[in-house]
Structure 1
C-alpha cells in the first residue's frame, strides 16, 4: 500500500471487506478494482476472477491483481490482468493519447517526454 501511495496515488487506501459485494482490496489504483496478494502459492486465475467480479461492484472499468513476490519488495511484484482487460486498457490509453495530441500537442509532448525519462 505504501508503494502505491508514494508512486501512484497518495490518496489510495485499503477498502473494508464487504463479503459478496466486495469492491477490491484498494481504492485509488486509478480506474481499477485491485486485489492485493502476498501468498506462498500464486493462483492467477483465481485472483483475476475475483478482481473481475469486484470490478463490477466497484464500478471501475478495469481489474487487476497486484502480487508481491516472496522475499522481495512491492516494487518487484507483478500487476496481472487478463488479456481482454489489457486490450481494453491499451485501447483507452491509445484513444486518450490521440485525443490529447489533437487537443494540445505541446502538452502531450511534455507528458510523453516525462514518462519516457522516468522509464529510462
Structure 2
C-alpha cells in the first residue's frame, strides 16, 4: 500500500506523491531552473530523462550539463562522474553537480566540479578575458567593474 505524503522543502511546496524523494528532487530541479532563468538564462529548462544517454537535468547553464541532486546523503564522486558523462552526451565542455543544501534556498546550494573540469573552465575564462582586453579594453573594464560591484 502506497503512502501519500506532502512535503515542505527549502525550495517550495512539494505536491503529494507516492515517492517523497522524487518529489523533493523535482522541486529542487524546478526551483533551480527558475533561479537560472531569472539570473542567468531565461531559456533554461528541465530536460526529459533519456536513461543512459541523459544530457543532465537542466539545460541552459552556459557551457554546462547540470546534474541536480537533493539527497540526504551526499556522494560527490558519483555526482561528478554522472555530470561529466552527461556533459559528453549533451555536447557541453563542462559537467557540474548542483547540490541542494539542506534547510536552505537555491542561492545557498552548491555547484560542484572536479578539479580537472574547474581548471579547464578557469583557463577558458582567463583566455577569453585576455582576448577581450586585447580587442576592447574599455569594454572589458566596464564588464569587470559591473561584475565586481554585483559580487
What is the alpha-carbon distance in structure 2 between the residues aligned to residue 5 and residue 69 of structure 1? 20
Deviation (angstroms), 1:42: 0.6
Q: Please identify which structure carries the higher strand content.
A: 2
Is structure 2 residue 81 aligned with structure 1 residue 49? yes
Deviating 4+ runs (over 2 angstroms)? none
Deviation (angstroms), 1:55: 0.5
RMSD across aligned positions (CA)? 0.5
Q: How many residues align?
A: 119
TM-score by length of 2: 0.78
Q: Give 1:31-110 correspondences, 5 Å limit.
A: 31-110=63-142
TM-score by length of 1: 0.97
| Runs of 5+ consecutive residues of structure 2 not aligned to the other structure | 1-32
- State which of 44, 56, 60 in structure 2 corresponds to 1:12: 44
Deviation (angstroms), 1:8: 1.1
| Runs of 5+ consecutive residues of structure 1 not aligned to the other structure | none
Q: Secondary structure at the match of 2:72?
A: coil
